[in-house]
Structure 1
């Protein structure tokens, strides 16, 4: 007579297999998701740092232009001609709204040094006024060969690469919105891609002063 024998070796059932795969997937997916979030966060932090530097750079150029205008112009010190020669040219180009852009590569050779100017001929003007809007002028370009960022009144080709950063400078008088004799308010607005590609905005402001005002 044939007697069947029970298999004493237990096998893995289909349900156990599915559960094991699911647990393994969760174990792998967790670190991978965390790594992906870390990469996005790192990229967003890098973009925020670049945006902050771009804003500070724009304000630095405006301060430098103020310094040059104050040091070279005697109009306000000799007499009350119009009272705001020290900032007149900058305000005329960067008045709120629509503002202006700054091309840091446009500076005037001055002996052994270079200076930014508003009154230089042709290509040496550092300030780019925005005609109605700053959609094109506010775009920031990047040169991967030099690591330099800049803006331009014209669309740039290779080696310059169009970035997702924009920068606009706004200025208004403090003691007088249109003809400040003592103080002006400057704001640099930079937009950049934040976490997940969401557009973010950084605003950095400062006040600049007339160092050599006319004192009757």
Structure 2
């Protein structure tokens, strides 16, 4: 006579096989999710740095335009050198140690807010009597410790 008992539950071998299958299936998905999150951070930082670099050029352009409005030469106060500036600067600040920018209510500055990884350097070079080359470079440290820099350049002319 046969004893016909149905097995209830998993044996140890079945449990181990299930665990291997589950791990094999979830591992790549978790890796992809982690890669997507890291890519999102990299893209976000690149976009912020690009905006800050462009802002550096635009602030120098605004100073040039203000010079014209005030009846001054286009390059008044725009001397060859390395500078830092804020979004509302009306003049250039000496570079000195170039501290990181701070974020306060969506605006980047050097005075108030949360310290960010971004530092901006604006370089002005006089090409000739009627032309300035303005270069704005934003640098920050990536998660791995390497430093990345985004740079934009514009030429300002005395066209007025």
TM-score of the superposed pair, with normalisation by structure 2? 0.83
Match for residue 50 of structure 1?
Answer: 48
Match for residue 94 of structure 2?
Answer: 129
Q: Residues 171 and 20 from structure 1, CA distance in 2 versus in 1: closer, same or farther, beyond 3 angstroms?
A: same
Instruction: Specify every segment of 5 or more residues in structure 2 that has no aligned partner in the other structure, as ranges.
Output: none
The answer to whether the Cα contact below 8 Å between 2:64 and 2:76 also exists between their aligned partners in 1 is no
The answer to whether the Cα contact below 8 Å between 1:48 and 1:194 also exists between their aligned partners in 2 is no
The answer to whether the Cα contact below 8 Å between 2:67 and 2:76 also exists between their aligned partners in 1 is no
Query: Deviation of residue 182 (structure 1)?
Result: 1.0
The answer to whether the Cα contact below 8 Å between 1:48 and 1:192 also exists between their aligned partners in 2 is no
Q: Residues 105 and 65 from structure 1, CA distance in 2 versus in 1: closer, same or farther, beyond 3 angstroms?
A: closer
Query: Deviation of residue 105 (structure 1)?
Result: 3.9
Match for residue 100 of structure 1?
Answer: 83
Query: Deviation of residue 173 (structure 1)?
Result: 1.2
The answer to whether the Cα contact below 8 Å between 1:70 and 1:86 also exists between their aligned partners in 2 is yes
Aligned with residue 26 of structure 1, among 14, 24, 27: 24
The answer to whether residue 77 in structure 2 is matched with residue 89 in structure 1 is: yes
Distance 1:54 1:172 in 2: 20
Match for residue 38 of structure 1?
Answer: 36
Distance 1:44 1:30 in 2: 21
Distance 1:7 1:191 in 2: 74
Helix, strand or coil at the partner of 1:174 = strand
Helix, strand or coil at the partner of 1:73 = coil
Distance 1:197 1:26 in 2: 31
TM-score of the superposed pair, with normalisation by structure 1? 0.63
The answer to whether the Cα contact below 8 Å between 2:137 and 2:149 also exists between their aligned partners in 1 is yes
Match for residue 204 of structure 1?
Answer: 152
Distance 1:6 1:135 in 2: 84
Bigger RCO (CA 8 Å, 6+ sep): 1
Query: Deviation of residue 174 (structure 1)?
Result: 1.3
Distance 1:194 1:100 in 2: 23
